[in-house]
Structure formats: structure tokens, C-alpha cells
Structure 1
Amino acid sequence: MGNATIVRFHRTLVACVLLGLTSAAAAQVQGRTVGTLQRHDPAQHRIVLSQDARTGSELGQGAPINLYYDEAKAERDRATRPKLQPGDRVMLDTVKTGNRVEATSVTRLPDTTPGQGWGQYLHGTVAEFVPRTNVLMVDQSETRIRNRIGIDANTQVFALDGTPMRLEQLKPGDEIDMAFRLVGRVRTASKIVLLKPAGG
């Protein structure tokens, strides 16, 4: 085998290794999931989460999804991990490998409302606040469907750590999650939590 052939073989081998490493890195996709805790299956290291409905302009509860977690890491984090109950509104940082989604951290959101009806939450992005009519326009996450949400004197706004905020502090592009209720036929926000500021 000549020197030129050896060099070509070496370059090909290096390219294959680099391609393999790139593919392996690309196979894992980091993300974030917001939804309502349906149940926890400790034996299977699984959290079952209900996401918001994505059908037409309907708000409500969507199909459940399975999120898995590393038991050893969960054991290490047990002291600081929030105590979760079915119905809690949660945000999870995730890593997706193929069809398997693994949760790497979990946050119980301040808009969790005991007794809140299933499906009465909305995760999305602030489009506009109209003070004249006390209406917050929210583009639902994933579908981008715009929703009119009423604001009244009972609406509370929080930062992710639970610190109270003023409604006027919310800006277009802010990622939010909210619990809402029906006042007559108007969907009206009970609690709003700022997940990530616009551009943050």
C-alpha cells in the first residue's frame, strides 16, 4: 500500500469518525416541555404529562406523553426536587434521543391551581395586551393559534420563582403559562407565570 493510499485511507477514517460523532451529537435534542402532571410511575422511572390540546382553536387537555428520567440522578436531587401531585402544572427540561424523551429537571409552576379543571391552562407567547378592553392576546405554543384571554382584578402574575409581578411588566414575545377560568363565556386568566422574557 503506497503512501498516497495510506493518507487517503487515514483521511477517510477520520472523516467517518467525525461524521459518527456529529451524528451522535445531533441525535440528542435538548428542549423543554410544559404540561399538567397526570401520574408518576416510579417503577418505570416515568412521568406521564398531559399537554394542552392542539386541535383547531379549542383549548383543553391533549393526549398524554411519557417522559423518562434517570433514577440515580433523581435520587441525588430528591432533597431539592419539588413534591409533585397529579394536576400540578410543571415545566421540564428534556433531552430527546430518537423517540425517547428524558426529563433532566422539573419545576412546579406558580400557576398551579388546586382544583383547577383539567385543560384549563394555556402555554404560549404574549402577542399583545389591550388595556382598553383588558384583553391579553396569547399565541398558543406549537399551534401559534391566537387566543383572547380576559384580565380582571383577580388576575395574578408571577415570575418563574413565584415572585409577584405586575401585568404591565409582560411584553410581546414573553413566553408564559397561565391558569384560566370562565367568567360567563369569557376565558379569564387566574394566574400567569413568566417562563422566559422575550429574547431571553
Structure 2
Amino acid sequence: MPTMRLPLLLLLLIPAAAVAIAGALWGQTALLFVFKPLSTLLIIYFAMPRGQVLPVEAQTRPWILRGLWFSLGGDVALLWPEQGFIFGLLSFLCAHLCYLWAFTRVRRLGDWLWPFGVYALFAAAVLSQLWPGVPAELRGPVIVYVLCLTAMGAQAAVLGWRARGTPEGGRGALLALGGFLFVLSDTCLAINKFAGPLPLASLWVLSLYWTAQVCIAGWLSPKRGA
């Protein structure tokens, strides 16, 4: 499979994502049903040939790809926002666990504690505002999800920090950004669902989400000479 370079990915992903977001904003479900999964599939295709250079990537690459596939499952489930919410939550929970497992193949969990403290404070502040709107039957799953999401974001920041000044520094920074944007995307989703409506929610949620996934996929090293 040839490597899809980033400019080509963006050339295809940006219009696909734009159509999906427009479909969500304007209630054009046919567009959303086609272009939302397609956008994530393009990121998976971008990631597939990557991560085959560094020795550690024999452990990280399979889990990043699994995380992307679970994300695709979550995308499909959330095409039905009410009926598919639990299935989407579980799919993205699995995605975050896959990413977290991949990140801890490089550095142990909590190798640098500051990001975990910052993300914990942020999560607590958001949950304190949203908690009254979270149905009782969802409070347990939401807490578990938030713990996994913030741990993923914080561990991504750990890898970004520890990679400073190394040949992997650029990709480490990209990963840290991806984790942060994923947390922001899910925060917008939670605000819209439990406290909203958030104006232009689909624009913020989906644009942040796909940018985050590109950053996470871009953390995997490109093939030599690609």
C-alpha cells in the first residue's frame, strides 16, 4: 500500500469532513451517513502504512490502528445520537484505551505527573458544570469514560514532553496536540448533550475530532523515503 502523504490526505479529508459537518448542521442525514465514516476511513488509510520504522512501533502501531477502527465504530453508532449513544461511548472508550496502551509502550503511565494534574483539574471543572444534566443511569459510564479520556490526553502530553530535543520531538508535539484536541472535542460533545445546545456543535466537535485523529495517526513514523 503506498504511503498517503499528509497534503494528499488533507486534500481529500477537508472536503469530506466539510460535507459531513454541513450535513450535520443542516440536517442532511444522507450526507452525514456517507461522509462522516468516509472521513475517518481516510485517516485510517493515512495511518496504515505508517509506524513501521522504529522498533517500539511493533508494539504501538497495532494499538493506534485498533483505536482508529474503534473510533470508526463510534462514528457510526453516533449517527443515531440517542439510540447509539451508549454504543458510541463504549466504542470511543475502547479507542482511548487502545491509544493509552500504545502510549504506555513508550513511557510508563504517569512518567511526568503535571499533565495528569492539569487534565484532572480540567475534567473536574467540566464535570462539575455538566453533572446536573447527566442522567443517573449514565453517571457511572460517563465517569469511567472521562477518566480514560483524560488519562489518554495526559499520557500523550507526557510523550510530547519527553520527546523534546530528540528526532521524534516534532511527532511527539503532534501527539500531545492530538490528545488535547480529542479532549476538547469530547468536551464540546458533552456540553451539547448534557448542558447545551452548543451553537454550531457539530462544527466544533467534528473538526476538533478529525484534527485530533490526524495528529495521533501522524505520530506514527512515515515509511523511509516517503
Q: Aligning the two structures, in what range does the TM-score lie when normalised by the shorter sequence?
A: under 0.3
Task: Give the number of the structure whose alpha-carbon radius of gyration is greater.
Answer: 1
Which structure carries more strand by proportion? 1
**Which one scores higher on RCO, CA 8 angstroms, separation ≥ 6?**
2
Query: TM-score, with normalisation over the residues of structure 2?
Result: 0.23
Query: TM-score, with normalisation over the residues of structure 1?
Result: 0.25
Which structure carries more helix by proportion? 2
